[in-house]
A and B are shown apart, each in its own frame.
Chain A
Amino acid sequence: MSGALEPLTACEPIDPCPPRAANLADILERVLDKGIVIAGDIKINLLDIELLTIRLRLFISSVDTAKKAGIDWWESEPALSSRAARDALAEENARLRERLTALEDRSREREEDR
């Protein structure tokens, strides 16, 4: 076979309802997160775009793709990731423990001073 896809154009729409022109959702769904993802120099997080433009539903898969491309800042953004939320809790926990220890130390010192 030659490389060309020529037979495709010969495909007659014998169908009473011929293929409809692609709408924006069809195109966006494909151009944003389909195709081979290769690491680019300019990193854009698709989540930003999606939040401001179209509903999350369409772009959930873009997030996966973005992750593959190494665009994953939201992993550490508490509002956006349950993992980050867990990390935040763990961090807060550690901070509180530290404070508690410090307070305990201080009150112990005071007692010793008396």
Chain B
Amino acid sequence: MNGGAVRVFAVCGGAATPALAALAGLRGHAEGTAVRCLRVGALAAVVQDVPAAQFTADALRTHLSDRATLERYARAHHEVVAAVAAAGPAVPVPLTTLYADEARARAAIARESARFLTVLDRVRGRAEWGVKVFAVGPAPGPDGTPGTPPRSGRAYLDRLRDRQRGREAHRDAVRAAVDRIDATLRATSAAARRLRTHGTDLTGEAQPQVLNAAYLVDADRCDELTRAVAALRADPEFGTLVRIETTGPWAPYSFADETDETDEAEDADRGGVDDDDA
């Protein structure tokens, strides 16, 4: 037991245990022992024993506040979750899920077993795909040629007004494009979520992110999704407006909460890209 705390990565169906033999090669967190499987009734949790001293709330807070360590932890956690999900249906749990010992971990998972089984059913044979859309180019505005100053105050105001109109029209066009992209991709998916968009300070990209969505897609429909994205990219109507980026397949991180059907983004965007979502 290593006198350690127990870190949980993901939970699968108990029948998946043999497939999880593939976990043997996973490092997990560098500080811990080998990643292993913990049977809990009809479930199998993928866990790792970690030294308790390094994983107290205080120690973790310090570590996670350090960007490099946060990244190391996040990637280590993600690597295990991804490997488990590639081997079979799996429900990820958040990075900070830690127990004082195995018995406590077992009890907590057993208590939630109904939820795990429901979500396992929902994600079976499916994977999450991430789709992010960025608005490209500056909003077109009749800027006039630089160097020709407006002839009068009125001309100047007209120019400002036109520019404002141009911006609004561009914004509306981008919103319409986002809605069409989302609707198209939802049609190929079993479920969809709009996540909060990332600011340019976070993405490090000049172009603003206008859609950050996750789609839960049947394994045999994933090339349908890929084709739909390719068709949207090829559409000349969109080319000048947006850039579409995809990531995946992901473990079904964004579809693990069976109770919360609402989109994160809904309350987040004020001017709302969403009209009434049927």
Taking Cβ atoms with an 8 Å cutoff, the residues of A that contact B are: 1, 3-9, 11-17, 19-22, 24-46, 48-49, 52-55, 57-58, 60-61, 65
Taking Cβ atoms with an 8 Å cutoff, the residues of B that contact A are: 5, 8, 10-13, 15-16, 19, 55-57, 60-61, 64-67, 70-71, 74-75, 77-78, 81, 85-89, 91-100, 104, 108-109, 111-112, 115-116, 119, 124-125, 127, 129-130, 195-196, 198-199, 201-203, 219-220, 222-223, 226-227, 229-230, 233, 244-250, 253-254, 256-257, 264, 268
Given contacts A15-B229, A35-B91, contact A4 B202 (CB under 8 A): no
The distance from the CB of A106 to the nearest CB of chain B, in whole angstroms, is 47
Whether A22 and B256, one on each chain, are in contact in the complex, defined by CB atoms closer than 8 angstroms, is: no
Whether B202 and A7, one on each chain, are in contact in the complex, defined by CB atoms closer than 8 angstroms, is: no
Which one of A15, A27, A42 contacts B5 once the chains associate, using CB atoms below 8 Å?
A42
List residues of chain B with CB within 8 A of the CB of A46: 96
**Most chain-B CB neighbours within 10 Å: which of A9, A28, A29, A48?**
A29
Bound-state CA distance A65–B129 (Å) is 22
Whether B247 and A7, one on each chain, are in contact in the complex, defined by CB atoms closer than 8 angstroms, is: no
List residues of chain A with CB within 8 A of the CB of B226: 11-15
Whether A36 and B61, one on each chain, are in contact in the complex, defined by CB atoms closer than 8 angstroms, is: no
Which one of B57, B116, B125, B244 contacts A36 once the chains associate, using CB atoms below 8 Å?
B116
**Most chain-A CB neighbours within 10 Å: which of B16, B77, B116?**
B77
Which one of B75, B116, B124, B130 contacts A3 once the chains associate, using CB atoms below 8 Å?
B124
Given contacts A11-B249, A34-B94, A35-B253, contact A54 B61 (CB under 8 A): no
List residues of chain A with CB within 8 A of the CB of B264: 61
Whether A40 and B96, one on each chain, are in contact in the complex, defined by CB atoms closer than 8 angstroms, is: yes
Whether B94 and A42, one on each chain, are in contact in the complex, defined by CB atoms closer than 8 angstroms, is: no
A-B contact pairs, 13 of them (CB 8 A): A5-B86, A11-B219, A11-B223, A11-B226, A24-B75, A26-B130, A30-B253, A34-B254, A35-B94, A37-B94, A40-B98, A42-B99, A58-B202
List residues of chain A with CB within 8 A of the CB of B10: 35
Whether B198 and A5, one on each chain, are in contact in the complex, defined by CB atoms closer than 8 angstroms, is: no
Which one of A7, A30, A36, A43 contacts B11 once the chains associate, using CB atoms below 8 Å?
A36
List residues of chain A with CB within 8 A of the CB of B195: 29, 61
Whether A42 and B55, one on each chain, are in contact in the complex, defined by CB atoms closer than 8 angstroms, is: yes
Given contacts A42-B56, A55-B199, contact A36 B108 (CB under 8 A): no
The distance from the CB of A5 to the nearest CB of chain B, in whole angstroms, is 6
Given contacts A4-B88, A31-B81, A34-B256, contact A44 B75 (CB under 8 A): no
List residues of chain B with CB within 8 A of the CB of A8: 86, 127, 219, 222, 249
Whether A14 and B98, one on each chain, are in contact in the complex, defined by CB atoms closer than 8 angstroms, is: no
Bound-state CA distance A54–B196 (Å) is 14
